[in-house]
Each structure stands twice: as structure tokens, then as C-alpha cells.
Structure 1
Amino acid sequence: MSPSSPGLQPSLWNEQGDSVQTFKVVEICAGAGGQSLGLELAGFEHELAVELDANAANTLRHNRPGWKIAEGDVANPDIWNPADYKGVDLLAGGVPCPPFTIAGKQLGATDERDLFAWAIELCGIMEPRALMLENVRGLSMPRFSAYRQHVLDRLRELGYIGDWQLLHASDYGVPQLRPRFVLVAMKPDDFQYFQWPQKQDQARTVGETLQDLMAEDGWRWASYWAAGANDIAPTIVGGSKKHGGADLGPTRAKRAWDELGVNARVLGNGPPPKGSPKPVKGKQEGFRPTLTCEMVARLQGWNGPDYKWTFTGRKTSNYRQIGNAFPPPVARAIGGQIHRALSHQGDPQPLVELTKTTHDPLYAVLRSASGFLTMDEINRRLEQPLHASVFERHINHLKQDFKIEIEDGKVAAYRLESFKAFVGQEDHLRHEAFIKPNKIS
């Protein structure tokens, strides 16, 4: 039998067509199914998918009617009970990215939408064999070095080894510049078998990917356009309900689309009509075709027989579902490596991660201190002392995500207090922001 045999879930087969063991996954903040489909193709079966947006949840139900879908705020105990899924093989999710995005305010732990720290705490409740969380590149920046350090320290307390990696979608066949920062964590017995996925085939260009769709209505210039669209796409931005209709991103992204010969100001309803003129690109004035949702989905990785998927709802909602998704081929690549690790395939590797990983030395010093420390006392404990201006800037970054108590005297002294992020507190401000109707199906 083959992966295309009727009635078989694609998760039961690897890319060579061999039967593989399936593992169970609970997916939080599942969106419209990019990560869901990738994990399914990597050999994971969904025990539950949780999603706040009704349109995305409907898309999941349409494509996988047999799945259990919980619709509503993932942190609302009325939506689902994490303890019911204790011992699941994988806990995965794409928690909200606005707290960390470079284009935003980077509020981190003080952003009411931040669920990263809360998701880490689920490991103490659910005790999954593996954890996989993905987010934007901004989380990898120096601004969030202490946040990352806290995550690794907390995982260690819960018995897990964690590692971060910045992955580029174009390294896994997705024709798009889409960096994603991914955290994978497992218990030591499993993590010794985990390796990050190797880069795969070079991504096709936008033109190569979309030429047949551009030519569907007989546009005579489709191949000419495709030859000029000879690079991968900029990062597709799904946007939010607060910011109007669908377009292909901010000003810088629109300039990149101009160079590819694409009109990024609006979203198209169909391919260029047969009589459309010869296209231009760059700064030239003239005709540029628009992209349809189907085209954007291809650029996001829904391309080929394994990646068939239908998006429900209206055009703008479809675009947001697609644009906010984790590319399925990238999720499949990471999921495949997690699957291998849980299956103990290959040779175990020395666990370098058992030695303490330090993302933020200043935070590490304060965290290990029993009392107040002055700047001089902190610098004496650092391998590389910080200049006063750098120290002050670093302290200000820490104060955004952590409560820092400052003792005033002849010389200021500092003590690290609590983490500000939401980890389930009943009195946290996010509860007021996320009270919405919800349902499970």
C-alpha cells in the first residue's frame, strides 16, 4: 500500500512510503493548520487542537472533521483541561508573536497576548515527552536574552532539556523569506537522539512556483512574468483584524514585491485575465498582477499533493489564516526529527545541553544571588564586565520582563524578583482581554 491509498491518514507513512509509528500531539494556538498538517505528515496524530479564531477553527474542522477542536482562549480552563492529556507524546504550538515581533513594541512578558511562559508551565501539568513552540525571529534578539534564559531554566527545573534554533523556511523548500525561532525540549533520554533538521532542497522562485496559476486564464505574459519573478518572496504577513484589509505587508515588503513584479497593495480574486498587458517590475509604472489566496498558500508551503488544504470563510479571513501560519514543510521537517528522537532512531549524541546554557549572563548572576548586588559586584561575577551605559540599558531590558527591586544608597543595588509573564495567575490582566464565547467540537 502507498501513502495515496484511500482511507489512510498521511501521518501513517514517511516520505519513502514506509509505515511509521504514530505519536500523539496536543496543539495549542493551532491556527488554520500549517503546523497541524506538517506534524501529521511527520507521524503525529492529534489528540486535540486548540484555536481562538473561529474562522481558523472552522478550517481545521473542514479539513479534519474527525479531530477534536477546542475553540476559544487556550488559557481558559473552561475550554480544555491540560491535565486530561498528561503523558501526551508532543505538546506543540505557535503561541502569539506580537509580544516579540521586531515591527511591534516588543513588550514581551508585559504583553497581555504573551503565552510563551504559560506554555512552558504546561510541561509541569501535562508532562509531554516533547515540546515544540515556534515564534518570530524577534524572540532571538538580545532584548529577550533573559526571557530565553528563564525559559531554559524553568524547563530544566521541570526535567527537560531545551534548545532554540532560528530556521529559515526557504531552507526547507518554501519559496519565502520566513525566519522562525523554534524551541524544542525533551527529557534527557529522548533529547540525546534529537538533531535539528538539515537544510533541504533550495526553494523555487516565486515565478517558478506561481507561473501555472498566473497562466490559468490564458495570460500570454505569464512565462515572461515568471522569468522576472526570479527570487523567493519576502515574509508573508497575515496581519490582524485591527488593521484593515489584506495586503502583502509593510512598505519594505511592498518594495520587494515590486521588484518581483507583484502588486502587493491588494489581494486578487483570480489570475490575470487573458488580455492583461505585459508586466513591469521595480520602479517602473505599469501592470503588475496581484496574488490570490491560492497563490499565497503555495508561497506559504501548501504546495504539492501532500499539502492539499482548503481554507474556509471570506477572502480576507483566508489570507490572514494563510499568512499567520507556520509553513507545513518546516513543521514537517522539525516534527520528523522529533519523531526520530522519540523513536530513538540513530546514535545517541552527548548531551552538551546538560552544561548550563547562558543566554543572559547578567540575568544569571542576579538569579543566583541571595541578596542585593551593586553594578561593581555584578561585574566581578561576569566574565566580561559591562560598561555603565550598557549595564543600565541591560537592566532596563530586564525590568520589562522581570520585577527588579532597586535598593537606593550611596550606590544602587539590584535584586531579581518575579517574572512578569502570564503563567496562569487568576488576577492577570489577560483574563479581561480574552473573555470570549467558546466551544469544543
Structure 2
Amino acid sequence: MADLSAVEICAGAGGQSLGLELAGFGHKLAVELDENAVNTLRKNRGHWDVRHGDVADEGTWNPKEFPDIDLLAGGVPCPPFSIAGKQLGATDERDLFAWAVELAGRMQPRALLLENVRGLSMPRFSAYRQHVRDRLKELDYWSDWKLLHASDYGVPQLRPRFVLVALRNEDAPWFEWPEKTPYQGTVGTALFDLMAADGWPGARVWRDKANDIAPTVVGGSKKHGGADLGPTRAKAAWRALGVDAMGIADAPPSESHPIDFLPKLTTKMVERLQGWGPEPDYAWEFTGRKTATYRQIGNAFPPPVARAVGRSIANALERKGQPKELSEVEDEVMHDRLYLALKGAPAPLTEKELVKLAGEKIDPPTFERRIAMLARDFVIDEDDQLGGRAYRLVGFKGFVGQEGHERHVRFAEMRSRIS
């Protein structure tokens, strides 16, 4: 029986759910928008309270009904930060990152775990990240970001994910990011039994060719036409491993296929690459047709990675090990000094004043680009004065739970295409 409790938002099909369960967290609630993923969660954990709907709609669930939770966790939507998308950040109707931070403020869990794509770690979102950490500090949480690669935690796939962990100040000194346990093998060794299951004579030759870990599996979204393994560069990487990435197969190659056949992966193979199976602990069943199943698998947080991070959080909550100075466990993530200068200014400042306060050498064209980038996520007033144009940071554009926020209208319009 799990000793620690969790509420999971944007739970997907259960990658993070399973990992956290194995780390010692029992789910009080899991909330998910996609119906296929909800069906998968219910099939595997029928005793959980699984809610289907918009996680930000209190008609779906009421946070007040779940007090005294140890962990609030979620894989909030990736498209607002994805390199493959437009990186709209706070102005994307799918962005729930800042909202989840406010949710932690309302629910006051002992810990918060949010994961997202690597794009969130880029300079484009340095101010967004700082805003999140500053807000968590106001809510009496210590927090840290870290870029984790799934292959460092026993998964045969690169899959970088940017992870935020926050803990109450009294628990934080016991937190340590998990130690790496790199995957010892290749795509070939991971999938050989599945590729050879129907008697394909080329399976051993294929295993030897597939001699590296997998590139990142791309699950895609409802806006994406079908199931394939990613953009052009990813397809080339798959081909070098002996995999046809132009779709997902219904079955592995059979004894009638030639030795030099270029196979596609099946959903079972993609499961394996995401960290489900073959060990009994990681057994999971997916519902829905092939494309829906592939998307559930491909968009998941690999269970072994979630387990490793979850165990680190559990150890902190259980006060295991020796407490440390928080600077010893914090990961170095650079933030935007220009944003900090704007945020800390009590009155509008000119370009010259802001550059001096930021302590950076910024030429005028770069300054304009940086201000324009900040203005994508923040409201910045500009006013012409005698000393030049002055700037003042007024607020954050993102959705944090406001009833009248335009996110609700855009979300309702786009709901059938959101995943």
C-alpha cells in the first residue's frame, strides 16, 4: 500500500501515474481531457477516481475536495513550448503551467511535480521560468528545474524532458535529483524478441543494425494526420537504425518477409521504447484504435523516469538521508536579466537604465528583440518620455485561473483538436 498521496492533472494514459505509483504514491485523483487516455487509466486502475474533462473546469473536479495531498503532479500540455510548434507560451490556449502553480498555492500539497518538453528550457522562456520560480517562492515553496534524458534512467530512448520540482521549504533540504542509471543496450536488444515474434528471418541482422538508443518518440496531437515517428530528421535517424518511420505496423514482420526488409514498429514496440515492460512492474494495457493508442504511448512521460523523480520526492517527504544546503541540489538554469530588471523596477525605465540595471551588454537591436520576446508572455507598457522610451512590466499574460480569461473561449473553440 502506498503511504503517500497524489493528485495528478493532465494524466495522459498513465506513464507518470505508473511511475509515481511505483515510487510510493497512491492516487486520490487523476484528471485527463482525452477520452482514449481516460479509458486506458480506468482499464488499468479501475479503483482510482479518474475524471474526464478540462482540468481547469471545476465542473470536472473541485480542488477543495482534495486537501492534505502530499504531491500534485502533472504533464501539462507541451505545444505552448514545443520547438516543433510556434512556442506561443502564455498566449497558447493549452498552456496550463502557470495555472498549475496557482493550483498548488490553493491546494498546498507538500510537493509539486510538473514535466514538459525541452523547449521550455530554452532562452525564449527564461523569463517565464523565472516567473514560475518567483511565484512558488511567494507561496513558500523551494523549486528547481532540471533537464532529464530518459536514456539516463533505464529507457532505450533519448527523450529529454524538462522537469520542475517544488517542495515546501521545510522538506526541500532532503531533496536530491535522482542518480543516473543509464540504459545498457540498444533499440535492437530492447525490441529483438518483439521483432522476431512472427518468425522474421532477418530479425538477428536487424538487431545488430539497430545498435543505438532510439531518438525521441513523437506522439503528435489531434492536429497531426496519423501515427508516424516524427519529423524529417527523426525519420532519418530511425532509418539508420533499420526502422521505417512512416507509420506504425499492425504486426511485426513474418517469416515471409525478406531478410533485408525495412520494418515499421508496432505499438507494443513503442511501448517498450517508452519504458513499459517487459518487467511485470511496468505492465500496462492501452485502449483505442492504433493511432489513438500510439499517441497515448508517444506522448507519455516514461514510467521509469517518473519513478526515479517520484522516489526522490518521496525520500524528501520522508526525510531520508542527510539534509543539504539547497544550493547543493539546485540545477543551473539561466534566467533573463532584462526581465529581472523590469520586474524589480518601481517606475518605468528607459532602455539605457534597463540595460545598466540588467548588467549586460545589449545593443539597441538586441534590446528591441528581447523586449518583443518578453512581450509575448508579459504585458509591458511603453511610454515616450524626454529621456527616451520608457518600459514598465505590468503583468503576466498567462492563464492562472481567471474566470474572464480569453483562454476559455479559445479552449472551447479548439477543444476537438486539443490533445
Q: Same fold (TM over 0.5)?
A: yes
Residues 1:354 and 1:347: Cα distance change in structure 2 (over 3 Å): closer
Query: What is residue 406 of structure 1 aligned with on the other side?
Result: 382
Q: Does 1:112 align with 2:93?
A: yes
Deviation (angstroms), 1:369: 0.9
The answer to whether the Cα contact below 8 Å between 1:86 and 1:125 also exists between their aligned partners in 2 is no
Deviations, residues 142-164 of structure 1 (Å, cap 9, x unaligned) = 00000000000000000001100
Query: What is residue 316 of structure 1 aligned with on the other side?
Result: 291
Query: What is residue 347 of structure 2 aligned with on the other side?
Result: 371
Among 209, 215, 221, the alignment partner of 1:240 is 221
Quote the Cα distance in structure 2 between the aligned partners of 1:53 and 1:205: 32
Query: What is residue 398 of structure 2 aligned with on the other side?
Result: 421
Quote the Cα distance in structure 2 between the aligned partners of 1:358 and 1:232: 29
Quote the Cα distance in structure 2 between the aligned partners of 1:123 and 1:62: 28
Among 4, 8, 27, the alignment partner of 1:27 is 8
Query: What is residue 362 of structure 2 aligned with on the other side?
Result: 386
Residues 1:354 and 1:427: Cα distance change in structure 2 (over 3 Å): farther
Quote the Cα distance in structure 2 between the aligned partners of 1:201 and 1:154: 34
Quote the Cα distance in structure 2 between the aligned partners of 1:266 and 1:163: 38
Alignment partner of 1:414: what SS?
Answer: strand
Alignment of 1:76-225 (within 5 A): 76-225=57-206
Quote the Cα distance in structure 2 between the aligned partners of 1:359 and 1:247: 35
C-alpha RMSD over aligned residues: 1.8
The answer to whether the Cα contact below 8 Å between 2:154 and 2:184 also exists between their aligned partners in 1 is yes
Q: Does 1:256 align with 2:237?
A: yes
Deviation (angstroms), 1:122: 0.6
Quote the Cα distance in structure 1 between the aligned partners of 2:31 and 2:411: 14
Deviation (angstroms), 1:433: 3.7
Deviation (angstroms), 1:203: 4.1
What letter matches 1:416 in structure 2?
L
Query: Mean Cα displacement is larger for which, 350-359 or 119-128?
Result: 350-359
Query: What is residue 284 of structure 1 aligned with on the other side?
Result: none
Alignment partner of 1:404: what SS?
Answer: strand
Q: Does 1:297 align with 2:296?
A: no
Query: What is residue 325 of structure 1 aligned with on the other side?
Result: 300
Deviation (angstroms), 1:386: 1.9
The answer to whether the Cα contact below 8 Å between 1:172 and 1:203 also exists between their aligned partners in 2 is no
Alignment partner of 1:139: what SS?
Answer: helix
Residues 1:203 and 1:133: Cα distance change in structure 2 (over 3 Å): farther
Query: What is residue 313 of structure 2 aligned with on the other side?
Result: 338
Quote the Cα distance in structure 2 between the aligned partners of 1:332 and 1:316: 27
Alignment partner of 1:153: what SS?
Answer: helix
Quote the Cα distance in structure 1 between the aligned partners of 2:333 and 2:162: 17
Deviations, residues 58-86 of structure 1 (Å, cap 9, x unaligned) = 00000000000010000001000112212
Residues 1:357 and 1:247: Cα distance change in structure 2 (over 3 Å): closer
Deviation (angstroms), 1:301: 0.5
Unmatched tracts of structure 2, length 5 or more: none
Alignment partner of 1:148: what SS?
Answer: helix
Deviation (angstroms), 1:306: 0.9
The answer to whether the Cα contact below 8 Å between 1:173 and 1:204 also exists between their aligned partners in 2 is no
The answer to whether the Cα contact below 8 Å between 1:73 and 1:434 also exists between their aligned partners in 2 is no
Quote the Cα distance in structure 1 between the aligned partners of 2:9 and 2:276: 21
When the two structures are superposed, what TM-score results if normalisation uses the length of structure 2?
Answer: 0.95
Alignment partner of 1:26: what SS?
Answer: strand
The answer to whether the Cα contact below 8 Å between 1:161 and 1:353 also exists between their aligned partners in 2 is no
Query: What is residue 262 of structure 2 aligned with on the other side?
Result: 288
Quote the Cα distance in structure 2 between the aligned partners of 1:385 and 1:149: 21
Quote the Cα distance in structure 2 between the aligned partners of 1:376 and 1:430: 35
Aligned residues: 412
Alignment partner of 1:30: what SS?
Answer: coil
Q: Does 1:347 align with 2:328?
A: no
Deviations, residues 175-231 of structure 1 (Å, cap 9, x unaligned) = 111000000001111110001011103342110000011111111111110000001
The answer to whether the Cα contact below 8 Å between 2:32 and 2:51 also exists between their aligned partners in 1 is yes
Quote the Cα distance in structure 1 between the aligned partners of 2:391 and 2:351: 8
Quote the Cα distance in structure 2 between the aligned partners of 1:430 and 1:277: 53
Query: What is residue 272 of structure 1 aligned with on the other side?
Result: 253
When the two structures are superposed, what TM-score results if normalisation uses the length of structure 1?
Answer: 0.91
Quote the Cα distance in structure 2 between the aligned partners of 1:96 and 1:57: 16
Runs of 4+ with deviation above 3 angstroms:
353-358, 433-437
The answer to whether the Cα contact below 8 Å between 1:114 and 1:422 also exists between their aligned partners in 2 is yes
Deviations, residues 391-415 of structure 1 (Å, cap 9, x unaligned) = 2111111000000000113411100
Deviation (angstroms), 1:389: 2.1
Quote the Cα distance in structure 1 between the aligned partners of 2:215 and 2:410: 32
Alignment partner of 2:136: what SS?
Answer: helix
Deviations, residues 229-257 of structure 1 (Å, cap 9, x unaligned) = 00111111111112211111111110011
Deviation (angstroms), 1:387: 2.0
The answer to whether the Cα contact below 8 Å between 2:242 and 2:263 also exists between their aligned partners in 1 is yes
Quote the Cα distance in structure 2 between the aligned partners of 1:393 and 1:83: 42
Quote the Cα distance in structure 1 between the aligned partners of 2:13 and 2:184: 23
The answer to whether the Cα contact below 8 Å between 1:217 and 1:271 also exists between their aligned partners in 2 is yes
Unmatched tracts of structure 1, length 5 or more: 1-11, 13-20, 280-286
